[in-house]
Amino acid sequence: MAMDMTYFDAMEAKIPHGKIRTRFAPSPTGYMHVGNLRTALYTWLIARGGDGTFILRIEDTDQGRLVEGATDVIYRTMAECGLTYDEGPDVGGPVAPYIQSERRDTYGKYARLLVEKDHAYYCFCEKTESEEDSGDWGRAADPCRALSPEEIQAKLDAGAPYVIRQKIPDEGSTTFHDAIFGDITVENATLDDQVLLKRDGLPTYNFANVVDDHLMGITHVVRGSEYLSSAPKYNLLYQAFGWAVPTYVHCSPVMRDQNNKMSKRHGDPSYEDLKAQGYLTEAILNYVALLGWSPRGEIAEQEVFSLDELARAFDIAGISKSPAIFDIDKLTHFNALYLRAMSPEAFHAAAEPYIRQAVKKPTLDTRAIAALLQARCEKLTEIPEKVGFFEALPPYGKDLFTNKKSKTNDEVSRRMLESVIPALDELPDWSQEAIHGCLMGLAARLEVKNATLMWPVRIAAAGQAVTPGGAVEICQILGRDECLWRLKVGLEMLNA
């Protein structure tokens, strides 16, 4: 008896048409690796650049890989990155639900429709799930392909467990078109009868993708190039259902080096790891966009893009076939550019938690410290070690007072501090302008270069050779009492 098509007709009627529709469909496995973030970004850019619709779909049918709380990581990452979606589990939409495990009845119906169309079959063979998933199951070895309708019905009536497999044509070839790699033709004889519906009634990744992409009206599918080998089987499924095939965009992998793909197992950073390492979301997105894509035309040389600029500039033709190598130094370069371009207020807001890790005294002005750091900082995580000296004078040796370029040694430094301490002590106003004027005037009176006076003052005030900011800024931030005490400690060291 032919299947009632009412359900399928109703599902078709819900599909939106007429504009670009893309989807990001992550599995909730606990973190967002760089390749995943790039896929999310590219799918978002294709939708936004084409005035289309961007959809978030959660692919949780592989129950063994699920991690508690992982869906929240996906929501949080999308929000932090500004990758707003128009339809999704938490916002709804015309083709809900957007979580695959909530759609399981749908897949069973479509798998059985394929059986009716003779493009799939019930398989009752005893095989482990790993055998099913590996694809190492030759069609010739599967006797279920040849079962009669009566034999199949008898097994179903007896409650025999089964999977539903795709029935690949025995002869001919299938040609699949990809926007990046062009036409790919595969002999059908080389394709296995992949499992569509597992024994537990849940679909395999490949089958759920095809069904959901069609029912959600997806026009462009962005995925990793490792799926190219599966692509002809997708085409055969679309043809079997009589559905239009979406535009496929397969992106080459993000590599750690020439030979190895990035992998969480090998300690390569996820998006959250990069954030924890002091990188800004905007810099991460900008860098990830350029991992495998290049702007063309007038903006071919442009490196720094806001999200809006990327949406205007992005085109599929700019995606490379070659793997992209993730270069942490290049990301650090981008991060420094972004830090320097921030407003002073925005930089202070980002830097303050890191400053306060090392500088606890409430009297010390974090805004003034942030102003010193902004042009001298590549990552936010560098901040605590750069500013710890404000909290407490670190131990140091008097060899720091000797500097060839500044023409200082112990004797010169002693003379400078002996003059500076009383001069600063008498200042009526403890401002940068007053301190600067005092020290400049003193250098002129002592007939020495400014650097000859400033070097020992900075060393005594900070207790370290490399500091963000110079002597004047450091003295002002420390405050009169702390500054003069430190200069006296330095002078005592030089007198010892």
Asked if 248 and 177 count as a contact pair (C-beta separation under 8 A), the reply is yes
17 burial via Cβ count (<10 Å: 0-12, 13-18, 19+)? exposed
Q: Where are the alpha helices (DSSP H) in 82-124?
A: 104-116
Helix (H, G, I), strand (E, B) or coil at 301: coil
Separation between Cα atoms, residue 78 and residue 441, nearest integer Å: 56
Six-digit token string for 244: 């239009």
The residues pairing with 319 across neighbouring beta strands, listed in sequence order, are 293
Return d(Cα 389, Cα 219) in angstroms, integer: 57
Place of tokens 């003193």: 442
Q: What share of the chain is helix, strand, coil (3-state, %, to 5)?
A: 55, 10, 35
The CA angle 473-339-255, to the nearest 5 degrees, is 140
CB atoms within 10 A of CB 384: 16
Half-sphere exposure of 113 (CA within 13 A, CB side): 19
Helices (H) and strands (E) in the chain, counts: 20, 11
What sign for the dihedral angle of Cα 207, 209, 215, 217?
negative
The contacts found for 138-143 with CB under 8 angstroms, 24 or more apart, are: 138/192, 139/168, 139/170, 139/192, 139/193, 142/193
Number of neighbouring beta carbons within 10 Å of residue 135: 15
Q: Treating both helix axes as pointing N-terminal to C-terminal, what angle do 450-462 and 471-478 enclose, rounded to 10 degrees? A: 40
Which H/E stretch holds residue 225? none
Active-site choice (127, 264, 330, 398):
264
Q: Quick one: tokens of 395?
A: 């131990």
Residue with tokens 């991992």: 291
Concerning whether 14 is annotated as a catalytic residue, the answer is no
State the residue for tokens 């059985």: 112
Beta bridge partners of 197: 164, 203
Q: Which alpha helices (H) appear in 182-280, and where do they start and end?
A: 205-215, 231-241, 271-276
Q: Which residues are the active-site residues?
A: 264
